[in-house]
Structure 1
Amino acid sequence: MYVKPSYTTEQKAELLKEWYRAELKEVLAELLPKWEKILGVRANEVKVQTMRTKWGSCNTDKGNLLFNIELAKKPYDCIEYVVVHELAHLLERTHNDNFIAYLDKYLPNWKHLKEELNSLPVGQVG
């Protein structure tokens, strides 16, 4: 990253964070329409933010999705898993048998991807 010599560490960190945000939004712009069509759902609002303990979340009442900015550092297939997982919540609110059946049907290798993703750190606390 090239920045002005006068930039502080905090300014550099913020620039890097915004670059990660833009990169993740680009990947989401590709994956969301693909999976919305496959699953027959539509997300209302999609945001990328810092999350300490989750890779993503879904407000099923509003149809809003949140994705952890740290996903930008993760493998593409793992990002795809989180997209499918959160969109599946628009079909089934909880992690019940129906929810699992959707994942099994549409993303058969989801358990492997979940395991891979969960072996990676979510983010840094602080």
Structure 2
Amino acid sequence: MRPFWSALKPSSAFSSFFISTMNTDVLEIAGIRVEVRRKRVKNLHVGVYPPDGSVRVAAPEALSADAIRSAVLTRMTWIRSKQQQFMRQSRQQERLYVSGETHFVFGRARRLSVTTQTGRGHRILLVGNDGIEFHVPELSSHDQRRRWMEAWYRAELRRVASPRIIHWSERIGCNPASWGIRTMKTKWGSCNPAKKIIWLNSELSKKLVSAIDYVILHEIAHFVSPRHDEVFLKVLETHMPTWRQVRADLNALPLPAWTEG
């Protein structure tokens, strides 16, 4: 699922700077770096992605560079608007995993309390409605604490998402062959309709459960139709009439403190 994604048709030619690499063509169009990936698609697609508004194009294999430039230029106002939106959007501060920090768990803000202990083990516990206890070895490093917390978040997301995948699969009548959790910088979820595989963004463990429902429904709907067409939209409208608002709320939340674009 691509939060900021648009389909275009080619137009007239414009000149711009061009670089070719083994896997990706890079164009400079109106002062913006654009990555072009050629795929077996019918239409040209333009996406603007967080955290820094990078622009990527998926283009038909036979489409000329001039046609790609023209299509991107016709959407330049939209592209710059999306880039400015990302620049204005708040970002989570990088976590140090020390007492007093605020960490979000399924949309709820919780205050972290770190306790050091002897031995090599660690524990993470939810306390009440607004606390997290993090028991760590005395000499544990920041990197170790980050990895432990990330593993815990993934386990929590798996616990919450598992029954919801079953629920939405039964509602729609399409069961995934498998699903998993991974780090994703540009999508909340993705799927392979042919193999019926679903991936969820690990960051969903910090978002409201309604957002998790939306992403799962979105990906399973692609088993009905792999495109964002009327058939796909009908699945969303039928099973989650408020999906547009849920998506807007999800995309408006603070972006993660990614270290790379």
Same fold (TM over 0.5): yes
Among 26, 42, 53, the residue aligned to 2:186: 53
Aligned length: 126
In the TM superposition, what are the counterparts of 1:17-28 in structure 2 within 5 Å?
17-28=150-161
Give the whole-Å Cα distance in 2 for the aligned partners of 1:122 and 1:37.
Answer: 32
Question: How far apart are residue 125 of structure 1 and its match?
Answer: 1.9
- Match for residue 39 of structure 1? 172
Structure 2: give runs of 5+ residues left out of the alignment: 1-133
Give the whole-Å Cα distance in 2 for the aligned partners of 1:19 and 1:61.
Answer: 31
Q: TM-score, normalised by structure 2?
A: 0.47
Give the whole-Å Cα distance in 2 for the aligned partners of 1:125 and 1:13.
Answer: 13
Q: Secondary structure at the match of 2:174?
A: coil
Q: Secondary structure at the match of 1:58?
A: strand
Letter matched to residue 90 of structure 1: F
User: Which protein has the bigger helix share?
Assistant: 1
Give the whole-Å Cα distance in 2 for the aligned partners of 1:114 and 1:30.
Answer: 21
User: Which protein has the bigger strand share?
Assistant: 2
- Verify: 1:116 aligned to 2:249, yes or no: yes
- Verify: 1:7 aligned to 2:140, yes or no: yes
Give the whole-Å Cα distance in 2 for the aligned partners of 1:94 and 1:121.
Answer: 28
Task: Say whether the 8 Å CA contact 1:44–1:62 is kept in structure 2.
Answer: yes
Give the whole-Å Cα distance in 1 for the aligned partners of 2:169 and 2:175.
Answer: 6
Give the whole-Å Cα distance in 1 for the aligned partners of 2:233 and 2:193.
Answer: 17
**Cα–Cα, structure 1 residues 51 and 104, in superposed 2: closer, same or farther, change >3 Å?**
same
**Cα–Cα, structure 1 residues 60 and 121, in superposed 2: closer, same or farther, change >3 Å?**
farther
Among 67, 82, 107, the residue aligned to 2:200: 67
Q: Secondary structure at the match of 1:2?
A: strand
Give the whole-Å Cα distance in 1 for the aligned partners of 2:211 and 2:146.
Answer: 24
Give the whole-Å Cα distance in 1 for the aligned partners of 2:150 and 2:177.
Answer: 24
Which 10-residue stretch deviates more, 1-10 or 114-123?
114-123
Question: How far apart are residue 24 of structure 1 and its match?
Answer: 0.4
**Cα–Cα, structure 1 residues 121 and 39, in superposed 2: closer, same or farther, change >3 Å?**
same
Give the whole-Å Cα distance in 1 for the aligned partners of 2:257 and 2:196.
Answer: 28
Percent sequence identity over matched residues? 33
Q: Secondary structure at the match of 1:90?
A: helix
- Verify: 1:94 aligned to 2:227, yes or no: yes
Deviations 1:26-82 (A, max 9, x none): 111110111100000011111101101110001111111000000000001011000
Question: How far apart are residue 122 of structure 1 and its match?
Answer: 4.8
Q: TM-score, normalised by structure 1?
A: 0.96
Q: Which has the larger radius of gyration?
A: 2
Of structures 1 and 2, the one with the larger relative CO (CA 8 A, separation 6+) is: 1
Q: Secondary structure at the match of 1:123?
A: coil
- Match for residue 163 of structure 2? 30
